[in-house]
């Protein structure tokens, strides 16, 4: 069953006769084409991609599962959509209520005679579990990030700034085949590493510092995500203890990750290791989040997540300990949820590295 058929198979459950898709990530999921503007419409017996002249040639080359139609002054979105809906639509049209602005909702309501019905969760649920073609792209993106990481290890030394390393990671990922960053790289050193999502700046590396690097790239729209923390010159006893605790916590969470496990239980397995070491208050974020066409998507492994992990889900495994104004450690891999366990697709070494 292809993705359009999977989407269509949910229509009865959502009591809709068609689905209007306007976000880039979901358009790409449905028909495999990226554009900054456009719309996909899936009906019970048809599928359409509407794009303007900037994308029409590329779309005609790339899209095979939907009718590609040009939108211009003579053939507006309104006319294209109404024509596609002329037959077979008896009930509501689903739309992405979680992302569509009120202005766009009013615009599309004017185009469509049938009522628009919230259906974001239809796509969210389908995207929780990745097919093998998606997993292939996620692994390829991960390999690119790992090559960049290996490249920059030789550049980490006293006097080099956080921004220097962030720029090098971006450049190296592009050089190795990434399309763009999955997100702005987080590169922090010294006391700045106690901020989980701090922004890299002009702070320069000093001997005895931790350096934390959280980064990833996209390949064919799919994201990689990894974090490594390294020490420069030497690491004191507490730095080693914290690093070892985070590493053991990550291993515990990964061991608990399997199809059918609740997100909170995966998180809890890692969190207990950190709490037992006396650093419970220093781990404020969740163990992991879904990774796919977006860097943060469903499912999540958080203390509040009651949902069970589906087979094929891809999530990060990233516990951390952050001691305010002193230092922090985070180690992040990406894993695929399987029956009876999980598959770690991150190959980069993660024992404490002292450069």
**Other CB atoms within 10 Å distance of the CB of residue 144:** 22
H or E stretch including 170? helix 162-175
Specify the pLDDT at position 66. 96
CATH class of 132-344: alpha beta
Specify the pLDDT at position 89. 67
Specify the pLDDT at position 86. 81
Domain with residues 3-127, CATH architecture: 3-Layer(aba) Sandwich (3.40)
Specify the pLDDT at position 340. 95
My answer on whether omega of the bond before 299 falls inside 30° of 0, hence cis, is: yes
**CA-wise closest residue to 41 among 5, 14, 81, 6:** 81
Specify the pLDDT at position 286. 98
**Other CB atoms within 10 Å distance of the CB of residue 315:** 30
Strand partners, 191: none
pTM of the entire predicted model: 0.95
- Give pLDDT < 50 ranges for the chain: none
Domain boundaries, the chain: 3-127, 132-344
Quick check: 31 and 66 in contact, CB under 8 A? yes
pLDDT tens-digit map of 34-56:
999 999 999 999 999 999 999 99
Specify the pLDDT at position 88. 62
Quick check: 206 and 327 in contact, CB under 8 A? no
E strands, the chain, where?
16-21, 39-43, 47-51, 67-70, 92-95, 116-118, 180-181, 186-189, 210-215, 217-219, 222-223, 226-231, 288-290, 297-301, 314-317, 320-323, 327-330, 333-338, 341-344
pLDDT tens-digit map of 282-330:
999 999 999 999 999 999 999 999 999 999 999 999 999 999 999 999 9
């Amino acid at each position: 069953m292809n993705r359009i058929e999977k989407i269509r198979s949910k229509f009865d459950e959502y009591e809709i006769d068609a689905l209007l898709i306007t976000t880039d990530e979901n358009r790409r999921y449905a028909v495999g084409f990226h554009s900054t503007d456009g719309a996909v419409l899936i009906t019970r017996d048809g599928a359409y991609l509407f794009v303007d002249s900037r994308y029409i040639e590329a779309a005609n080359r790339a899209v095979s599962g939907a009718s590609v139609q040009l939108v211009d002054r003579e053939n507006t979105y309104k006319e294209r959509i109404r024509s596609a809906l002329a037959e077979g639509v008896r009930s509501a049209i689903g739309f992405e209520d979680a992302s569509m602005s009120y202005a766009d909702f009013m615009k599309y309501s004017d185009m469509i005679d049938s009522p628009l019905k919230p259906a974001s969760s239809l796509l969210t649920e389908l995207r929780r579990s990745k097919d093998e073609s998606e997993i292939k792209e996620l692994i390829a993106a991960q390999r690119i990030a790992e090559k960049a990481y290996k490249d920059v290890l030789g550049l980490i030394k006293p006097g080099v700034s956080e921004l220097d390393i962030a720029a090098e990671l971006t450049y190296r990922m592009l050089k190795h085949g990434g399309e763009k960053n999955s997100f702005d790289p987080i590169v922090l050193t010294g006391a700045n590493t106690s901020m989980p999502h701090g922004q890299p700046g002009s702070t320069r590396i000093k001997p005895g510092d931790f350096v934390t690097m959280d980064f990833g790239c996209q390949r064919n729209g799919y994201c990689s995500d990894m974090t490594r923390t390294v020490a420069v010159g030497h690491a004191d006893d507490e730095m080693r203890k914290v690093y070892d605790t985070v590493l053991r916590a990550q291993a515990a969470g990964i061991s608990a990750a399997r199809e059918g496990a609740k997100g909170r239980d995966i998180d809890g397995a890692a969190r207990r290791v950190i709490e037992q070491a006396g650093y419970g208050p220093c781990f404020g974020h969740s163990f992991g989040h879904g990774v796919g066409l977006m860097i943060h998507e469903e499912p999540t492994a958080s203390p509040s997540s009651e949902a069970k992990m589906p087979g094929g889900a891809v999530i990060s495994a990233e516990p951390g300990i952050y001691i305010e104004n002193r230092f922090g450690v985070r180690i992040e891999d990406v894993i695929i949820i399987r029956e009876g366990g999980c598959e770690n697709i991150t190959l980069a070494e993660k024992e404490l590295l002292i450069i």
